[in-house]
């Protein structure tokens, strides 16, 4: 991502908050794994979206029209000893040189910096509740200025949440973001091809997971979320992550795995037969899910909504389960009574971007489902899950869990399936697996 891209975003944010305001964002904290070791650090997505800066302990401020500079970054100063242990640090001079920063300050001086920047500002745009440390700092500075208001001058009179503005911006992807998401999807697709090649009876779920993560790492990416490698009845647990079972002849393997490439996520699911061939009953359920997914994707275009997609998906799945005798009764009544819910209990998809479940409201200001716009990225992921504990279901269906998920970009004329090179038709999956 180019520095110009981050600068462009900051200018847009400055216009959104307006004159005499200041936007404040902090990055994520280091998270302790055990004792004195930490999980790998990842910047807060909102913070990174405007800065491109990926070191911990940093605070960003945007103050439109500020004579000393609109973009201020508080970071850790360079420390040769710390760099010996933990690696390179940009420091105060580095962020000015490399990140188009107007002014930089030591993060240790944040109390005085906040008061200085907030002075003469009428409004603070800051989301309280994400980071208690910075919450306290911002409120302390706000109260300090308020206590001295008799000295005259303009002081902040309100604190408003910054998240709605940011998340609305993040929903529409730029050309550079789209390119990164396409790359992330390609890496994810190759990982799933590898699953199809390596899936066979006797292999353990964790071995499949290891191959997926190896494929991610070979292309400079990391898992975007805990990979789901669920065989047999495990596939009926939506967020199954134990990944410890042995793959068995006759079972299905549901793999939900996506990578994060340069901060952008993919999210892909395929369900394949462990033996290389779907059984007759597995094909029957799979065909319903595939029909629902293809129908949903075909409907993606500007003006479409998740709500309408979900309604259509529910009808297709309910109709299909009724045709197989898994559900019985009048179609409209079955839908109204949500008879499908024991077998399809989640939504048709979600926003996708820097976060795998990306930010942004699903409803507009009137409380109605938000229309898709060009540049939005979504997942489309219907499923049917018939666990071994399902009641009043023929045993031949039990233990079948199927989900098919692709990453989809809304375009001006319709959509583009970013993960579209990964086959999902029964014959194509079987052909790949038979060549192993």
Which active-site residues does the annotation give?
36, 239, 256, 267, 346, 350, 357, 381, 385, 403, 405
Q: Decide: 394 and 276 in contact? Cβ < 8 Å.
A: no
Rg of the chain (C-alpha set): 25
Residue 185's nearest CA partner among 280, 266, 263, 287 is 266
Residue 316's nearest CA partner among 349, 350, 293 is 293
Exposed, middle or buried: residue 382 (CB in 10 Å: 0-12, 13-18, 19+)?
Answer: buried
Q: Which residues pair with 269 in a beta bridge?
A: 256, 405
Distance CA 273, CA 243 (A): 17
Label each residue of the chain as H, E or C: CCHHHHHHHHHHHHHHHCCCEEEEEECCCCCEEECCEECCCCCCHHHHHHHCCCCCCCEEEECCCCCCCCEEEEECCCCHHHHHHHCCCCHHHHHHHHCCCCEEEEHHHHHHHHHHHHCCCCEEECCCCCCHHHHHHHHHHHHHHHHCHHHCCCCCCEEECCHHHHHHHHHCCCHHHHHHHHHHHHHHHHHHHHHHHHCCCCCEHHHHHHHHHHHHHHCCCEECCCCEEEEHHHHHCCCCCCCCCECCCCCEEEEEECEEECCEECCEEEEEECCCCCCHHHHHHHHHHHHHHHHHHHCCCCCCCHHHHHHHHHHHHHHHHHHCCCCCCCHHHHHHCCCCCCCCCCCCCCECCCCCCCCCCCECCCCCECCCCCCCEEEECCEEEECCCCCCCCHHHCCEEEECEEEEEECCCCEEECCCCCCCCHHHHHHHHHCC
How crowded is the C-beta side of 201, counted as CA atoms within 13 Å?
7
Q: What is the DSSP pairing of strand 228-231 with strand 264-265?
A: unpaired
């Amino acid at each position: 991502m180019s520095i110009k891209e981050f600068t462009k975003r900051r200018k847009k944010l400055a216009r959104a908050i307006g004159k005499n305001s200041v936007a404040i964002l902090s990055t994520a904290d280091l998270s302790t794994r055990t004792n004195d070791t930490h999980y790998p650090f990842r910047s807060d997505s909102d913070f990174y979206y405007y800065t491109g800066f990926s070191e911990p302990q940093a605070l960003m401020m945007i103050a439109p029209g500020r004579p000393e500079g609109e973009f201020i970054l508080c970071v850790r100063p360079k420390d040769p000893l710390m760099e010996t242990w933990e690696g390179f640090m940009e420091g105060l001079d580095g962020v000015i040189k490399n990140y188009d920063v107007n002014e930089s300050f030591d993060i240790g001086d944040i109390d005085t910096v906040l008061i200085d920047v907030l002075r003469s500002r009428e409004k603070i745009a800051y989301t309280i509740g994400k980071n208690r440390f910075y919450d306290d700092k911002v409120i302390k500075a706000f109260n300090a200025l308020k206590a001295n208001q008799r000295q005259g001058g303009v002081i902040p009179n309100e604190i408003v949440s910054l998240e709605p503005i940011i998340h609305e911006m993040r929903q529409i992807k730029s050309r550079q973001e789209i390119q990164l998401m396409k790359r992330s999807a390609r890496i994810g697709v190759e990982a799933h091809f590898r699953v199809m090649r390596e899936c066979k009876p006797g292999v353990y779920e964790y071995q499949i997971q290891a191959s997926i993560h190896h494929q991610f790492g070979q292309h400079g990416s990391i898992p975007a979320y805990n990979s789901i490698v669920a065989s047999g009845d495990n596939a009926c647990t939506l967020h199954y992550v134990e990944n410890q079972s042995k793959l068995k002849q006759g079972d299905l393997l549901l793999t939900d795995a996506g990578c994060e490439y340069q901060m952008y996520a993919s999210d892909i699911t395929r369900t394949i037969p462990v033996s290389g061939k779907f059984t007759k009953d597995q094909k029957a359920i799979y065909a319903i899910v595939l029909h629902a997914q293809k129908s949903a994707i075909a409907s993606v275009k500007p003006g479409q909504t998740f709500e309408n997609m979900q309604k259509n998906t529910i009808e297709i799945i309910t109709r299909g389960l009724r045709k197989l005798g898994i559900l019985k009764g009048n179609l409209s009544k079955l839908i109204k009574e949500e008879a499908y819910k024991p077998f399809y209990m989640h939504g048709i998809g979600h926003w996708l971007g820097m976060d795998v479940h990306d930010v942004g409201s699903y409803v507009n200001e009137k409380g109605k489902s938000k229309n898709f716009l060009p540049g939005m990225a979504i997942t489309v992921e219907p499923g049917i899950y018939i666990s071994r504990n399902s009641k009043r279901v023929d045993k031949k269906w039990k233990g079948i869990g199927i989900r098919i998920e692709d990453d989809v970009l809304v375009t001006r004329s319709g959509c583009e399936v970013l993960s579209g090179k990964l086959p999902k038709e029964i014959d194509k999956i079987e052909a790949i697996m038979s060549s192993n």
